[in-house]
Amino acid sequence: MKVLQFPLARITIGFILGILLCFYTTPSFNLILAITACTFIGFIVVYFRWSKTSYFGLLTFIVAISLGTITQIAHTDSYQPNNYIHNHSSFEQSQNISIVIGEQLKKTNFNDRYYATITQIGNKSNSGKIILNLPKDSTNHIFETGTCLLIKGKLIRNNKPYNPNQFDYGAYLQQKQIYAQLYATNESIAIGNMVQKDIWYYISRLRHTIIQNLEKNKFNKKELGVALALVMGQRQDISPELIQEYQYAGAVHILSVSGLHVGFILLFLNLLLKPIPNTNKGAIIKLMISISCLWVFALIAGLSPSVVRSVTMFSFVAVGYYLRRTLNTYHSILVSILLILLFQPSFLFDVGFQLSYCALFFIIWLQPLLASIWKPKKWLSKYIWNALTVSFAAQLGTMPLSIYYFHQFPGLFFITNIIIIPLVCFIMVLGVLVLFLAAFNYIPILLAKPLEWGIYYLNTIISTIASFEKFVFHNIPFHFYLLLSCYLLIISSIVYLKKPRYTSLLIVLLSIVTIQISYMTIKYNIRQEKEWIVLHVKRQTQIVERHGEDVVLYQREKDSALSKNNTLNGYLVANFSTIKQRQNLKNLLYCNGTKILIVDSSGVYPTTSKPDIVLLTQTPKINMDRMLIALQPKLVIADASNYRTIQNNWKESCLQQKIPFHATAEKGFFKLN
């Protein structure tokens, strides 16, 4: 691959490796600083004496790794000494916490949620981002960005997943430098007199004004939510059902502002700026206006990873277009990656960022090869063929990542993209114009109604395509090794098709063998595993016993009618397993020689059983101290079918008897291998 021969490619790869090294090893700042200083000194010496040798290239790569590591440290809030993560008392007792409200998040059934920044805890000056949860009330009061609040409460650390192979929301928040949440009551909140008026405050006010003016003009709420997602990247007001339909149709990328949307905006700006003459001065004026508009749009869209990536890329495109300079596309991609990660290295771990760059790279690299297979002359055939080749290149590039993260694949993405792209183009141009005018409370009905109807028909098309659920492949098991093996096969195959050689063909065949070996190794390892798991399911008792790929599910008969096994899906997919048998819950179970006694609501237990583990379910009415003395277990477990209040009493009794206590509501699932 020629792209890897670019020096910039090696520097970018080294920089990314440095970020990954820091993220997964959390090294000492002083150690990294010393290593970076040494590598820089070595780099300077080699540059002046052996700059044309291989040592220089190797040292440049090491310097890039060091820079990536130190950049990640500099942008990781937990390394800052005044970050609240180091204030342990804030997690142990209620204190006065001063915060500044940030962006509003999607609401839950019970809470309004916000990003917030801590400024002070008690008498200490602290910093750091948290998620603030406020209970919904009858007034439905919404705090604007920049509002200062004083809250009496304590911070709650991010929870680990309650069930195996579940989405780790705590790790996701940690990647965003959010290490805790704060739950407040209406009585514990005092609103400050000052409002912090920074750029985010004015952007939030602008968004609020646009939404308010559109609502006053009776813009349909469902269509308004999609318009805000398409134009401003705000998905808070879209229902989960509609998002799922876009996923099933293979068009969820439409709801995240990306290169498609930014490309439309740049084309629209080119049309508006045509009257400016194409002189040197005129070209610079056009360039400055275009780049300024693109970055204002990025700010309004919240600077999400996909928006920053797209705007950075198209900023380089604008430079090349207006200054009449040919820019190497791969260089533009590499520079944009390097610039973005220099200022925000955490974007590397964002799924949208990864998918965006994979799609972009494969469109640039593979689409010309596909387009050369057939060159239609009629405009309709040309449009359909171009749409097919672009869609196929993007989907092929993102397919392994999509399956790895989401375990599903939309089979009708070809049809979806061919139909909706012209409609999305129309909606984007009209949407930008309508939302711009809405900021000034001027919304012509001749523009607003076509936009509303366009979004309505877009949703109808998506809903129709998504209704063919047979073409949506769900619950696809996919391991990390399979992910790497698949990309090896895809990349080696494209290299061979571009320039057929014996060595390229050999790599393709080896990559096929690698996939087979990876799959067989994963399956072999899974078949050797045996485990017994108490799941955390609200108001229910569910126990999983897995022998290799076969799962036995124990639950009460009345719970089996209510359970949809949503909790189990992630576990089954991750372990390539299926439920082979369902059994009613027994009072005595065995796992690898471990005796497990289940005490239910009847509160009856045999005093002579002497179990290794006691599992408490359905809040049994027992004398805990007496039971512990009689049974003398090595461990006590309380699942989610018990009342939370009584579990604290059980925990105290276990502490007194020096017996470990595991509550799934506190520690998550319990696994016995």
Q: What is the pLDDT of residue 491?
A: 93
Say yes or no to pLDDT of 249 above 70. Answer: yes
Strand arrangement of the beta sheet that strand 613-616 belongs to: 588-591, 594-599, 613-616, 635-638, 661-663
| Range 167-192 average pLDDT | 87
Of 171-180, 234-243, 373-382, the least confident: 234-243
**Among 186, 157, 135, which residue's Cα sits nearest to residue 90?**
157
Q: Is the pLDDT of residue 138 over 90?
A: no
Please report the pLDDT score of residue 561 as a whole number. Answer: 53
The answer to whether 550 and 577 are in contact (CB under 8 A) is yes
Mean per-residue pLDDT over the chain, rounded:
85
Over residues 398-431, the pLDDT tens digits come to: 899 989 998 888 888 878 878 888 888 888 888 8
CATH topology (fold) of 84-204: OB fold (Dihydrolipoamide Acetyltransferase, E2P) (2.40.50)
- Amino acid 269 reads L
Worst-scoring range by mean pLDDT, 141-150, 231-240, 323-332? 323-332
The pLDDT assigned to 378 comes to 84
Section 633-659 average pLDDT: 91
What is the pLDDT at residue 4?
61
Tell me the three state secondary structure of residue 146.
coil
Please report, rounded to a whole number, the percentage of residues in the chain having pLDDT higher than 70: 94
Lowest mean pLDDT among 66-80, 325-339, 458-472: 325-339
Q: Taking residues 582-603, what's their average pLDDT?
A: 88
Summarize pLDDT for 42-95 with one digit per residue, the tens. Answer: 777 776 766 566 667 778 888 889 899 999 998 888 888 899 999 888 898 888
pLDDT band at 446 (very low <50, low <70, confident <90, very high): confident
Q: How far is CA 660 from CA 455, 531, 631, 636, 671, in A?
A: 57, 20, 14, 6, 14
Task: Tokens for 223, please give them.
Answer: 């269509």
pLDDT computed for residue 182 by the predictor: 92
Residues 6+ apart with CB under 8 A from 45: none
CA-atom Rg of the chain in angstroms = 29
Domain ranges of the chain: 2-75, 84-204, 214-473, 480-527, 530-672
Q: How confident is the model at residue 324 (pLDDT cuts 50, 70, 90)?
A: low
- Number of Cβ within a 10 Å radius of residue 513: 12
pLDDT at residue number 638: 94
- Whether 489 has a pLDDT exceeding 90, the answer reads yes
The single-letter code of the amino acid at 197 is K
What is the pLDDT averaged over residues 11-38?
A: 86
